[in-house]
Amino acid sequence: MIVVLKPDISKKDETAVLKEIKKLGYVPHIMRGVERTVIGCIGDERTHQNLETLGSWSQVEKVVPIQKRFKLVSREAHKGNSTVKVGPEKVLVGGKKFQVMAGPCSVESEMQLMKTAHAVAKAGATILRGGAFKPRTSPYEFQGLGEKGLKMLAKARRETGLPVITELLSEAHAEMVAEYADILQIGARNAQNFQLLIAAAKTGKPVLLKRGLSMKIEEWLLAGEYVLSNNNPNLMFCERGIRTFETYTRNTLDLSTIPIIKKESHCPIVIDPSQGAGRSDLVVAMCKGATAMGADALLIEVHPNPAEAWSDGAQQLTIEGFAKLMEELKPFIAAAGRE
Amino acid sequence: MIVVLKPDISKKDETAVLKEIKKLGYVPHIMRGVERTVIGCIGDERTHQNLETLGSWSQVEKVVPIQKRFKLVSREAHKGNSTVKVGPEKVLVGGKKFQVMAGPCSVESEMQLMKTAHAVAKAGATILRGGAFKPRTSPYEFQGLGEKGLKMLAKARRETGLPVITELLSEAHAEMVAEYADILQIGARNAQNFQLLIAAAKTGKPVLLKRGLSMKIEEWLLAGEYVLSNNNPNLMFCERGIRTFETYTRNTLDLSTIPIIKKESHCPIVIDPSQGAGRSDLVVAMCKGATAMGADALLIEVHPNPAEAWSDGAQQLTIEGFAKLMEELKPFIAAAGRE
Amino acid sequence: MIVVLKPDISKKDETAVLKEIKKLGYVPHIMRGVERTVIGCIGDERTHQNLETLGSWSQVEKVVPIQKRFKLVSREAHKGNSTVKVGPEKVLVGGKKFQVMAGPCSVESEMQLMKTAHAVAKAGATILRGGAFKPRTSPYEFQGLGEKGLKMLAKARRETGLPVITELLSEAHAEMVAEYADILQIGARNAQNFQLLIAAAKTGKPVLLKRGLSMKIEEWLLAGEYVLSNNNPNLMFCERGIRTFETYTRNTLDLSTIPIIKKESHCPIVIDPSQGAGRSDLVVAMCKGATAMGADALLIEVHPNPAEAWSDGAQQLTIEGFAKLMEELKPFIAAAGRE
Amino acid sequence: MIVVLKPDISKKDETAVLKEIKKLGYVPHIMRGVERTVIGCIGDERTHQNLETLGSWSQVEKVVPIQKRFKLVSREAHKGNSTVKVGPEKVLVGGKKFQVMAGPCSVESEMQLMKTAHAVAKAGATILRGGAFKPRTSPYEFQGLGEKGLKMLAKARRETGLPVITELLSEAHAEMVAEYADILQIGARNAQNFQLLIAAAKTGKPVLLKRGLSMKIEEWLLAGEYVLSNNNPNLMFCERGIRTFETYTRNTLDLSTIPIIKKESHCPIVIDPSQGAGRSDLVVAMCKGATAMGADALLIEVHPNPAEAWSDGAQQLTIEGFAKLMEELKPFIAAAGRE
C-alpha cells in the first residue's frame, strides 16, 4: 500500500505513522518527493489489516492500494482459459465453440416452455434458460412457479437434450435447484449476496454470476472469488448491463467487460443483451457486438408471445426473431474465430 | 398506463393494439394528438400484466406507467407519521425525540465493544450498533464474529440499557439474530435480496432497510413493501449513500431522501453518514445537514481506535470525536424542532 | 403531455388545472382511472410552454412528456440514411464504405504528425485526425499548438491526400479552424456549449458531435438539432464513452448508441474507442464490436511513441498496433456488409 | 507518481521502464513487494509529462498519481477563507454573514423581474439572480432576452440596491455581461468550457462556477484553477446537483461538497437547491441542510407565477414560498454560527 502524508506535518506525527505501519505488519519505505512524503508499505494487502484504516488519521492524506485483491479468479493464477462443462452432455463454455443459452424470462406454463425449448433448440441454441424463481422489484408481481417450474425445465431438458440454466434466489433452495438445473444463475440483485454465492458454490454445479447493477469490475471478480474459494472452479461471469444515468435503455450494456474479463481472469464471459438493453429491437445488434468482441456465450430471452409475457416482455425476442438472429450471427462467429 | 403509438401506423396495427389492451384487462381511451396517437389505459398497473410488454410491438413507441407501484409504505395508505418502538425500553424512532444509533462497524472483542458502548451511551446515543455478521467484498477480509458477537452485543445491552441494532446477512440466521437484536439491519448489498427481507419481516422485529448502492427511490419503497406486506409494520428506511461517478467520497450521501421519504411514505428515515462519506472528517457536517433536514435518527460508526479497526476504519469516529459531535448537534436538533 | 393529478383533490383544484392547461395553449382530455385522474393534453410540447411548469402546483403529481423533442435529426424527418461528404476528396461517411479516422491525440511536431499521417494512410485510414486546440482538465497541461498545429495538419493533408478532422474549442476560432479542417469536431466537454455548436454549424463544414460525458441520448440528439436548425445538414454523432461509477476504464463506451442512433436518427454514427476505453489494450476489441454493430466509422488515436505523448498517451495505439488492427478488422467489416 | 510493474516481467523490461522514467524527468525509487515491484517517481506531476503515458507499455500494470493537481485554489495555497466582494455595495460572500441570492430563472419581462426583485429584497435576499442568456437543451425553447434582459437587471439593481448575478454563455459576450452584472455565473454545461472560463476571469468580475453534471471534485477545482491562474481571485464554487441514476429528482444535490470544498479550498461555496432538486417542494429542506452544513450562500429561483414561467417552472418557489423559507432558515443560520 502507499500511504501519502500531508505536507508540513511534524516529525512526531510522521514517526507515529511509521510505527503504526510496522505494528499492523507492514515494512515501510519512505520516499520524500517535491511536495509530499510518500510511504511505500510492503506486506499482503489482502488481509483485514490493509492500512486503509490509517486514512482516519489527520496527518495522512490518502492511502492507495496497489495489489489486486482477487487471487483464484485471476489470470495470474491460471494462464490458460478455463472451460466449464455443463450438464451430462458436457456442453463446453469457454472453448472453441460459441454457445447460445436461450429461453423464456420466466417459465409460465408447460406449453409455453416446451414450445420455446423446441424452437430455440431447432434454431441452434445449446443451453435452455428459464426462470422458476423470479426476483421482482414489487411483491405484487409474478414471483415464478417455483419447484413446479423446475420440473417443467427438467422435462424440457429430457425432450430437447439441452442442459438447463435457471436462477437461484434463496440459500434455502440451493440443493433443490441444483437437483434440477445444470447451471445455477446468480442474478444481478444478488451478486453481492455472499451467503447465496457460498451456497451455490457448495452444490458443485456450474455457477453463472451476473454483474451487479453498480458493481465495479474488481468487486465482480471478488464475488467470483467467493465461488472459487469455496472449491467450485466452474464459474462463468455474465455482463447484463450496469445502471447509469441513461434512461433510453433499461441498463447500459458494458461490452468492454469482454476484453477486461479475458485480460484479468481465466473464467468464461457470457453476455446477456436482453437485460442489458431491456428492448428487443436492440438485442440483435448487441449480440453481434458481443460475438465480435470475443464473448464465450450469449444468454438471450425468447418468448412465443412477448406481449403477453408474465415478466419483462419488452425485452424478449419472438421465436422467429431468435431464429433470424441465429442466422445473422453466423458470419460474426466465424470472423471471431469460433464455431 | 399510457401507450404511445408510432406515427403513420396502419389502422390495422392500431386496432391490434387496442384489442390486446382489452385482452390484458385494461380499458383503452384514445387521444389523437398533433403528431402521435396516445392511448390511456384504465386498469390496475400493479398486476403482472402491466402493459409494458406491449413495448415489444413494432407499432408501439413507448409505454408510460402512471400509478405508483407501492401501496402499504405510501403516505396515501397512512396520512400520519409511523413510529417504530425499539426494544423493551420502547425507544421511539420517528417521534418527537431525535435518536442516535452509534457503535463500532464490527464487534471485534468484548473489550472493544464494552468500551464503545459505555462511551456512546454516556455521550447521549440511544441505540447501540455493532456488526456480528459482516458482508465483505472479498472472502479474505474479516467476516465478523458471528453468534459470539451477538452474545457480546446482548451483554452490552444488559450493561448499558441501550437496545441493539445489528445486520442480518442470511435467511438461515433470521431467528438467531432476532433473538439477540432489537432491530434487524438489512445492508445495502442485500436491499433487493427479497428472500432475506421476507425472513426479516417474519421475525416481527423492527427492520432497518438500507438503500442499495444504485437503488432508485421507487425500488427502495417497493423493497420496503416486501416488509409491510409480510405483516411487519416496523420499518425504517436508511439512506447510506449511493454509487456515483465521484471518487472523492466512498459514496454520495443523498440527503434529498429525507424530504422525499417524508413526502412519499409514513415510515421513519434514518441517515448513515459513516457509510455515506467513507471518511470520518466529513461525518460531522453530514450529521448536521441530516438533522436540519428532518431525519428521524442517525446511524454512526464509532471505534476506540479507528486505525486498528478490523473493517472500515477510515470512516469511524473516535470516542472523543463522537462526544464532540453530540454537543455540536444540539442547536441543530433544537432548530429542527426535535428533542 | 400527460398531467397526472394527485388522488383526493377537490373539484376546484382540478378545474384550476384544466383552466391553466387551456390558457397555456393545450386541449385537455380527462381520463378517470382506478386511483388517479389523468389529463391528456393535446398541443405542441416543443414550445417553451410545455406544461412541465404545472409540476409546481400542489395538486399535480407529475407531468409526463410524450412527444420526442428533436425534429430535424429524427428518422421521421428523413427516412433514408444521410451521408456526409468530407473534403474535396468527397470521402463519404454513412455510406456503404466503412471509414477510419486515425491520427495522434495532439499534434506535437511536424515530424510526429507526418510520420503518423503517412503510416495511418498506408494502413488504410481514410481521414486524418489530430488536435491543435486541446481542452485540458488542468491549465498546467499542454494546450495544443494552435494555428501552428492547423498548418501542420494542412500540410499532412496535402502530402497524404487524407481529409482532416480537428477539434474546435472556441467560437472565436470557428472561421480559422474551418479554413484548415474538413470536419470540425465538437468535444465531449463542449457538447452542450450551444454557442459553439451554432458557430460550428455556420461555417458549413461537416460537424462531428461527440456525446457529452453524462448526456442522455435525447439531449445528444437535441444538441445535434442545434447544428441542423442552423442550416448545416452535415452532422455526424460520435460516441466516446460516458461517465459511470466504473473506474477500471476511463469511461464506459456505450455501444448501444449504434442501433439507437440508427433507429432514432438518419445521421451517421462514429465510434471513438480510444477515449471510450482510455487504455490501448482494450481498443482492438472495441473496434471489432463497433464494426459488427453497424458503426459508420471509427475515430482512433495513433502515436509513434505513446509513452512520450504530450496528452493521453495511455490510450493511443502505436503505428504497428494500428496496422495490425486494420488487418484484424477486415472480416468484421465484411460480416457487417461494408466495404 | 507510482508506477506498478506487472509480476514476472524480465529484467530488461524493468530497466526500460526505469530509463524512460528518468528520460521524462523523474527520479525513480524501486520498492520490491510481496507480489509486485513498485516504482516511486519523484518529480512534478503537474507537467504535461506526468508518466500516465507509461500505462501504454505492456510491462506496466498501472500508474497512480499522488500529487493534487490544483494549486492556487487549494487550502495549502491560502490557509484562511477567501471572501469575495460583490458589487459597489461590497456584499461579502464567504464571511461571517450568510448570503442569499434569489430571483427568477429567466428574466421574462420588466414587470416579472421588478415584482420578484422587490419581493426577494424585502424577504431578506442580498443578491438578485436572473438569466438573460439561457442555455437550453433544445433550440426550440426560450433562449433568454439577451442584452434587453441585462438592462432590466441593471434597472432592478438601481431600484433595489441588490447586486446582480447572471449567466455568461458566450466568450463573445464577456465584456457586455460584465458591464451589467456584479457576478458572472458559469453554468453546469459550460463548467469545462475553458475558453469561457478564461474570458470570464479576464473581466475581473467575481465568477461563480457551477459544478458540471458529471464533474469530479478534482476536475471542478481544476476548472476553478483556470480562473485564479488568469489573475482573478474572486471565485465562488456552486454545487447544483450531479447526474446520477436517480430519476425522482432532476439531479442529486451533493451536499458533501460543502465540507469537501471547505477542506480542499479557500474559496466560498454556494448551494443551488433549485437546480439540484428540480422540484420546489424539496427546496426548503435542502436550504436548511446546506445552511447547517456550512454553505456560504444559497442561490434560489423565485417566480411570481411558476406555472407560467418560461423556463424550469417546476423548480421555482413562489414569492410567498420564498418569504416563508427565509423565516424558517433563521434558526439554522444561527445554529451554524452565521448572521
pLDDT in tens, chain A (339 residues): 899 999 889 999 999 999 999 999 999 999 888 778 999 998 877 776 788 889 889 899 999 888 888 999 999 999 999 999 999 989 999 999 999 999 999 999 999 999 999 999 999 999 999 999 999 999 988 899 999 999 999 999 999 999 999 999 999 999 999 999 999 999 999 999 999 999 999 999 999 999 999 999 999 999 999 999 999 999 999 999 999 999 999 999 999 999 999 999 999 999 999 987 778 889 999 999 999 999 999 999 999 999 888 888 888 999 999 999 999 999 999 999 998
Determine the Cα–Cα distance for residues D228 and D224; give it in Å rounded to an integer: 7
Q: Which residue has the higher pLDDT, D49 or C193?
A: C193
Contact between D42 and A35 using a beta-carbon 8 Å cutoff? no
Q: Which residues contact D2 (CB under 8 A, 6 or more apart)?
A: A2, A38, A40, A64, A66, D38, D39, D40, D41, D63, D64, D66
CA–CA gap between residue C14 and residue C37 (Å, rounded): 9
Q: Among C247, C277, C289, whose Cβ lies nearest the Cβ of A292?
A: C289
- Name which residue leads in pLDDT, D231 or D140: D231
Cα dist. C178→B55, C171, C206, C299 in Å? 44, 11, 9, 19
**CA separation for the pair C227, C215 (Å, rounded):** 17
Q: Do A256 and C249 touch (CB under 8 A)?
A: yes
Give tens-digit pLDDT for B94-151: 999 999 999 999 999 999 999 999 999 999 999 999 999 999 999 988 899 999 999 9
Which pLDDT belongs to residue A48? 65
| Min Cα separation D285/chain A (Å) | 24
**pLDDT category of residue D278 using cuts at 50, 70 and 90:** confident
Q: CB B139 to CB A222 under 8 A?
A: yes
Q: In 3D, which of A86, A104, A102 has the Cα closest to residue A94?
A: A86
If 0-12 CB within 10 Å is exposed, 13-18 middle and 19+ buried, where does residue C303 land?
buried
Chain B residues near residue A222 by CB distance under 8 angstroms:
137-139
Please report which confidence band the pLDDT of residue D294 belongs to, taking 50, 70 and 90 as the band edges. Answer: very high
Res. D48 pLDDT band, cuts 50 70 90 = low
- Chain A nearest-CA distance from D242, in A, is 10
Looking at residue A224, its pLDDT comes to 98
- The helix/strand/coil state of A307 is helix
Average pLDDT, chain D: 94
**Neighbors of chain B by Cβ distance (3+ pairs < 8 Å):** A, C, D
Q: pLDDT band at D34, cuts 50/70/90?
A: confident
Q: What angle do CA B117, B122, B128 make, to 5 degrees?
A: 35
Cα four-point dihedral sign D16, D19, D24, D27: positive
Is residue C257 very low, low, confident or very high in pLDDT (cuts 50, 70, 90)?
Answer: very high
- Whether C277 sits inside 8 A of A294 (CB atoms) is no
CA B116 to chain CA centroid, nearest Å = 25
Q: Rounded CA gap, D44 and C85, in Å?
A: 45
Distance CA B263, CA C62 (A): 14
Q: CB A2 to CB D4 under 8 A?
A: no
In chain D, which residue's Cα lies nearest the Cα of A214? D245
Looking at the complex, report in whole angstroms how far the Cα of residue A10 sits from the nearest Cα belonging to chain B.
19
User: Which residues of chain B are in CATH 3.20.20.70 domains?
Assistant: 84-335
Select the residue of B244, B246, B335 nearest D331 (Cβ to Cβ). B335
CATH class held by domain C2-64:
alpha beta
Q: Decide which of D107 and B43 is more confident.
A: D107
The pTM of the full predicted model, rounded to 2 decimals, is 0.95
D34 with A42: Cβ contact below 8 A: yes
pLDDT at C48: 65
Q: Give the residue-averaged pLDDT of B195-208.
A: 98
C-beta separation of D107 from D132 below 8 A: yes
To the nearest whole number, what is the mean pLDDT of chain C? 94
Q: How far A123 CA sits from the closest chain C CA (Å)?
A: 20
Stretch C19-33: mean pLDDT:
91
Substitution target in A29, A41, A46, A218 with the highest count of D β-carbons within 10 Å is A29
**pLDDT value for D45:** 76
DSSP 3-state of C13: helix
Give the number of A-C residue pairs with CB atoms closer than 8 Å.
Answer: 120
| pLDDT one-digit tens code per residue, B237-282 | 999 999 999 999 999 999 999 999 999 999 999 999 998 777 888 9
Provide the 10 A C-beta neighbour count for residue A114: 15
Is it the case that residue D161 has pLDDT exceeding 80? yes
**Cα distance between residue B12 and residue C201, in whole Å:** 42
Q: Is the pLDDT of residue B73 over 80?
A: yes
Among B64, B186, B194, the residue to mutate for chain A (most A Cβ within 10 A): B194
Subunit contact B7:C76, Cβ cutoff 8 A: yes
ipTM: 0.94
- Residue D36 is predicted with a pLDDT of 85
Residue type, C8: D
Mean pLDDT of D188-216: 97
Residue in B closest to A189 by C-alpha: B192
**Mutate which of A3, A51, A68, A249 to disrupt the D interface (most D C-beta within 10 Å)?**
A68
Query: Do the chains contact at B248 and D281, CB–CB below 8 Å?
Result: no
Instruction: Give the integer Cα–Cα distance in Å for C252 and D227.
Output: 30
**Which option is the CATH number for B84-335: 3.30.1540.20, 3.40.50.620, 3.20.20.70, 3.40.50.2300?**
3.20.20.70
| Contact state of C307 with D53 under an 8 Å Cβ cutoff | yes
Closest Cα in chain C, distance from residue B22 (Å): 15
**CATH 3.30.70.1140 boundaries in chain D:** 2-64
Q: How many CA atoms lie within 13 A of B7 on its CB side?
A: 12
Q: In chain D, which residues have their Cβ closer than 8 Å to the Cβ of B256?
A: 249, 252-253, 276-277, 282, 285-286
